[in-house]
Structure 1
């Protein structure tokens, strides 16, 4: 089966919840093998990971583990582990040294392939072909679950792989309304009252009070703004849960219920140095633009003062600054004065020193940001020559 949905739609949560439910009722009746297409980038790595996880779950000793000499041998080893009871019995009956009790049972194995579309990019899709073939032919009691964000992933399967696929798919969608989105958020924030009762009456009372607190939290202006912002931008609950982690960290007997502002504080944007640009002198702004230009022109992350001052002189020459006595673009300052201006930029944090030995700096604002700030002024042409 394929489970298809955008990131944050709950694919992994759905599978893990189902596996957890199965584990509570059928513990010991199945093993789970988890693979990720971003980690197991080829079939050999995937097969080794399958053997490793099965070896751990089945508690196989070193000498009992299948010998992985090559792809074919590794696959045969896996088939031997996962052989269907009927096949094992038939093999035992054909064997001269068959054991007296051939009724061996095979434990089911559930393969969870996260980033399934990445496995479809492997040469010949050997892993998918063999897993699907085992499942279709009932050579072993296995189930294969693929999790992916790509709706058209089936089209990327080879013909022989597609013919062995059951074509069973489940599509998960992001919440279609703000109320539906809140229901998902609330489910993640409330406490399970039934579980709380196992820890005493006081815990149960707090769980009930916490549920009422969450309902009231939804009515606050700050939290409502947070919900609307996240829903409008991504419709995924991860940003809200990340914000809730910091808010819940403030819990204490004195403050058992965090204020609504504790959730929004986590999403506050970091302080930006762009607010310092209006306070710069003409020379400091010219040096800052020159340094930002160098990062683009020289494709470098750090600059030194000599490079910046040379770029500043070139820009002044291009604009014929010497002919204009009005300052700004119209005056070339000496290097000694420019050194003082550069030190001022360093103190404000607009250029950050990198390393101790070489005197190099990293510009903390980008040329595009500076261009937006100087839009409509004489400095914009210095930025336009690069961008």
Structure 2
């Protein structure tokens, strides 16, 4: 009977640990709209009001969300969209187009992606357009249901906005901002960028059509707030299935935040970067040490995770290689310098290694003779 109970306990513990890891990994890895926002309540209110004017009242707008990487620009936008989508009117009418400067490298690719996301491939068909503006205007015209008030509002989200600036003549940006200023179709353009000098990169004709609304996220919290973020990121939700474990886990997190060793680790991390993604990486590495036999996070776990974060990535690649493998890499480096990037085969690498070995043996012999 006792064996049966112990088996049941171990299976519950295993299931419990896997659920904890799933919840926390989802929180750390994804810009989850169910997570909490830290210190950006004013920006949240500003962006929400801006998008409400488009989705509910049919106004067109444009704005830029500016902040360093990891400051929560995408998370802020996801939270606002989540709240907007709770309204039936918005959920049924709002059309979203997500573009990324790393993927849509020119206006032609961007236009194809806009057509695909608006599901207008059949409408466009084999039509030939005289210009980019004509093509985009046709797509937006096709979304109209009648008058302006009953037209589908369209939200354009441009991630890595600064890369769109480098497109030829900034045609995409010009046309999007131009449409957002017109009173034909309710369109809002939201750009996300880490460049604070972004307005200086815009051409005059593009800048004149931009509304100059800018929302800044600057990671302005202090260490006390950072410590609170650390706790809130690790806390399990009250609705977690295993209630006794939840209480023990959250109590352990509280004691961790009061531990001097943990505070030193977090303070070093805080002074290196206030980027919340770097904090998530630290917590992710510490979370990987959680097992059935080691169910609670400790200060030593965070210390080891911090060391892993600070390791040189290139040194990690070489670490653990044999002497022969290191010699081959050295020979390849020498050959790469000689042939200036031209391809070479294994025989050439071997010959290069033999030359290195011969030179080393000659140098050792000369030292011994001296």
Structure 2 length-normalised TM: 0.66
Equivalents in 1 of 2:299, 2:232: separation in Å?
18
Q: Which runs of 5+ in 2 are unaligned?
A: 1-62
**Aligned residue among 337, 343, 346 for 1:297:** 337
More divergent stretch after superposition (19-28 vs 130-139): 19-28
Structure whose residues are more often helix by fraction: 2
Q: Deviations over 1:178-197 (max 9, x none)?
A: 2232233333332343xx1x
1:37 aligned onto 2:101:
yes
1:17 aligned onto 2:79:
yes
How many Å apart are 1:85 and its aligned residue? 4.4
Match of 2:229 in 1: 184
Report matched runs for 1:189-268 at 5 Å.
189-193=234-238, 196=239, 202-203=242-243, 206-249=245-288, 255-267=294-306, 268=308
How many Å apart are 1:5 and its aligned residue? 0.8
Equivalents in 1 of 2:172, 2:227: separation in Å?
40
How many Å apart are 1:13 and its aligned residue? 1.0
How many Å apart are 1:151 and its aligned residue? 0.6
When the two chains are superposed, the root-mean-square deviation of aligned CA atoms in Å is 3.8
Check 1:108–1:67 CA distance in 2 against 1; reply closer, same or farther (3 A cut).
farther
Indicate if the aligned counterparts of 2:335 and 2:349 stay in contact, CA closer than 8 A: no
The structure whose Rg is larger is 1
Indicate if the aligned counterparts of 1:67 and 1:77 stay in contact, CA closer than 8 A: no
Equivalents in 2 of 1:137, 1:155: separation in Å?
24
Indicate if the aligned counterparts of 1:67 and 1:74 stay in contact, CA closer than 8 A: no
Check 1:123–1:230 CA distance in 2 against 1; reply closer, same or farther (3 A cut).
same
1:326 aligned onto 2:368:
yes
Structure 1 length-normalised TM: 0.63
Match of 1:107 in 2: 152
Equivalents in 1 of 2:201, 2:301: separation in Å?
46
Indicate if the aligned counterparts of 2:155 and 2:188 stay in contact, CA closer than 8 A: yes
1:117 aligned onto 2:162:
yes
Indicate if the aligned counterparts of 1:30 and 1:108 stay in contact, CA closer than 8 A: yes
Equivalents in 1 of 2:268, 2:133: separation in Å?
52
**Aligned residue among 60, 67, 72 for 1:5:** 67
Indicate if the aligned counterparts of 2:161 and 2:191 stay in contact, CA closer than 8 A: yes
Q: Deviations over 1:200-245 (max 9, x none)?
A: 6x54x65455433322222234433431232222221223322433
Q: Which runs of 5+ in 1 are unaligned?
A: 88-103, 331-387
How many Å apart are 1:46 and its aligned residue? 1.0
Equivalenced residues, count: 293
Indicate if the aligned counterparts of 1:84 and 1:141 stay in contact, CA closer than 8 A: no
What secondary structure sits across from 2:151 in the alignment? coil
What secondary structure sits across from 1:80 in the alignment? helix
Equivalents in 2 of 1:6, 1:154: separation in Å?
16
Check 1:274–1:191 CA distance in 2 against 1; reply closer, same or farther (3 A cut).
closer
Report matched runs for 1:280-295 at 5 Å.
291=331, 294-295=334-335
How many Å apart are 1:10 and its aligned residue? 0.9
**Aligned residue among 86, 104, 128 for 2:147:** 86
